[in-house]
A and B are shown apart, each in its own frame.
Chain A
């Protein structure tokens, strides 16, 4: 019996698979190249994946990165460490994604060879991939300096010798030149339609060109202030002589976008604060937005910015309040008469003083901020204001007649104010309470990008407010900065005043009021929480001066670009309890440093360009290290 079984098996093995068609089966779980590259829809879905991997640093999906600097405090237990570290790691912000780069190169190669696609589609897809590749090289140059410039997919031949795949780093300006040339080339191939927001357009190519040229220009111009941040092979650092040409490129690209008239500042609501806030969440007919990462409810592609950062009181979930804008940022917003009003003068207990050097009293907590830039109200949720028509209830407690303070250590906690008195609420339901996560530990919550739609603060719904990567106001500020650097002060004033006018300023800045400090300041208040701060500070070469590792007090000169600002400060409102006195029921403010803030931010020379890690160096001995690191 066994013998026959064996014989049968032998026969089966020998002839059973003789039929070749039987083995030749199309896979059911993967699409092959020749299937993909003949169908517009399939190519588009490949491209969608590439768009989805677009690099960002601080975004609305990553709220916590905003708290690494002086703009905000992280009111969440796992993130207090961001205010306790003594310096930034050399490897922070590093980005070296040649896997993504290879796929972009493959896409370009295959798309150019895809004869079966409609030529118009093919041209647009290829241009979009060129755009993404330029964007990734720009991002790498921002973070690492010059990187190997690889423009075709590399194949290993398994010969055991990979040296032909090892490319040295290009010079930093070579990367910028490549990016600028690519963007110029594709700007004619991309659709010129301002209603396309989440794919590349001509407007986007020009906006990115202006930004990239401005970055290169300012590295060339201000690099002389930090001569040690350079490498002999120019992988890091751009020669000062190139600055003017780059500024001209930046101004030209920005002006072409501006004069095209396709984009304009968002100006649709009479209340300027509300107008500025809705610029970020209004997805219908928004003329300011140029390029976004878009989200959609009930599609799986949603984000939790509103859940993480909604005011804690009456929140739709039992959480929120994580990102607390700092007093450093809040006091940077000017008065509408173009003057600065720092909130630094305090008495010995920290209470804010008024004009007459006495503690300042206010009828309502928001009165302190009246008369300031509308963008303050649109960017920050201030005490005494509302969100989704609900009080935010931010107040630190009662100040008694003798100057002592009564507060509680739970949200909305109750105590007696006098021996005979009744139990009553002595702290806001949104805090602030020191060291209590989700409470407004600086006295403020963030408003920018918060979604006012019902359910946006619920885990089951979340938010589909888009993340704006490029918008018209930034193009105007880029144009202003380039014009200023080229000593066209009138032109610079024209552009900067457009942005300021939308914020409620009625007195335009004159040409001789445009200074480097003005440019820096305008970007700080207009573009807060939009992921610009770190890169701006780096390219101006002032990061090591502003985040100098010294625990300095809050600056009384917020309009100066190089003022040290290393810790997030807070400002807590207190209600006065002093029956019979005219001050009873009024509000005072106390300047504080949140308890978890124990160390100052320190940006070292080696942080200007992120560390290239040892794995990369070991795999490719031609790569040189970035300077001032160990």
Chain B
């Protein structure tokens, strides 16, 4: 009797330990990385705000994998090897998706066989060109840029709601984190080729003699803003 119990316990232990290998998946290990680009130039957005969805067809329930785009327009995610459909929901991002030849819509097919870099080409409403920042003493920061209208088709073109300069203590710079900002409404801008802004940075505790800044353009009717790259400025 005791011997049977001994063997039984032994068998159960071995089963317990070895069966884990059967029903466990390996963790996903395939990287999908890339940027949101227009003609190869990355589209800068607010962090954690522009999100696209990856759908893997074939499962009973349909739940997307959400992939956020970071400030400099790049993204990165770890996935299982499979074929995914990549979709931006309408209203996401300061851009329009291009028609994809393969699907006949704005859905992209991502056939993930190994780690892959995929730049997603989109059509932004505007681009911020030649953003220049400088510190002019007394904690004053000035900036200038050219705002280029990309979508000019009358069906889809949108106006500029405002152009703003944001200044932040950390590298995360947008309206949420900004210490101080200057906003010029679209109607007040006479020349989109030459927009200049300036702010006086308030003193902060603990004292910090540098800040991060960037210019953002709010497009009317579009929630997500487009930005220039973040720049560190010594005061």
Contact = CB atoms under 8 A, between A and B. Distances in A.
A86 B91 contact: no
Interface stretch (A115-123, A451-459, A597-605): A597-605
A614 B61 contact: yes
Contacts of A618: 61-63
Given A227-B221, A605-B223, A614-B63, A628 B91 contact: yes
A90 to B, nearest CB: 11
B170 interface: no
Interface string A587-627: 00000000000011010111000000011011000000001
Contacts of A629: 89
A513 B176 CA distance: 36
A403 B177 CA distance: 31
B171 interface: no
Nearest to A627: B91
Contact of A606 (B53, B62, B91, B178): B91
A602 B92 contact: no
A126 to B, nearest CB: 39
Given A227-B221, A550-B176, A606-B91, 4 more contacts: A86-B48, A551-B178, A602-B176, A604-B223
Interface string B41-85: 000000010011100000001110010000000000000000000
Interface residues of B, number: 18
A549 B176 contact: yes
A630 B48 CA distance: 12
Contact of B178 (A86, A550, A605): A550
A185 interface: no
A602 B223 CA distance: 12
A549 B178 CA distance: 10
Interface of B: 48, 51-53, 61-63, 66, 89-92, 175-176, 178, 181, 221, 223
Contacts of B178: 550-551
A548 B174 CA distance: 12
Contacts of A604: 223
Interface residues of A, number: 21
Contact of A228 (B52, B91, B181): B91
B175 to A, nearest CB: 5
A630 B53 contact: yes
A617 B62 contact: yes
A550 B166 CA distance: 11
Given A228-B221, A605-B223, A630 B66 contact: yes
B45 to A, nearest CB: 13
A604 B175 CA distance: 13
Nearest to B166: A550
Given A228-B221, A599-B176, A604-B223, A627 B62 contact: no
Closest 5 CB pairs of A and B: A628-B91, A630-B51, A618-B61, A630-B89, A550-B175
Given A618-B61, A627-B91, A86 B223 contact: no
A624 to B, nearest CB: 12
B217 to A, nearest CB: 15
B165 to A, nearest CB: 13
A606 B48 CA distance: 15
Contact of B92 (A86, A599, A600, A630): A630
Most buried by A among B51, B66, B175: B175
Nearest to B46: A549
Interface in A247-290: none
A548 to B, nearest CB: 8
A614 B62 contact: yes
A86 B176 contact: yes
Contacts of A228: 91, 221, 223
Nearest to A602: B176
Contacts of A86: 48, 176
24 contacts: A227-B221, A228-B91, A228-B221, A228-B223, A550-B178, A550-B181, A551-B176, A551-B178, A599-B176, A600-B176, A605-B91, A605-B223, A606-B91, A614-B61, A614-B62, A614-B63, A615-B61, A618-B61, A618-B62, A618-B63, A627-B91, A628-B91, A630-B53, A630-B66
Contacts of A630: 51-53, 66, 89, 92
Nearest to A614: B63
A600 B181 CA distance: 15
Interface string A207-240: 0000000000000000000011000000000000
Contacts of A599: 176
Contacts of A551: 176, 178
A523 B53 CA distance: 40
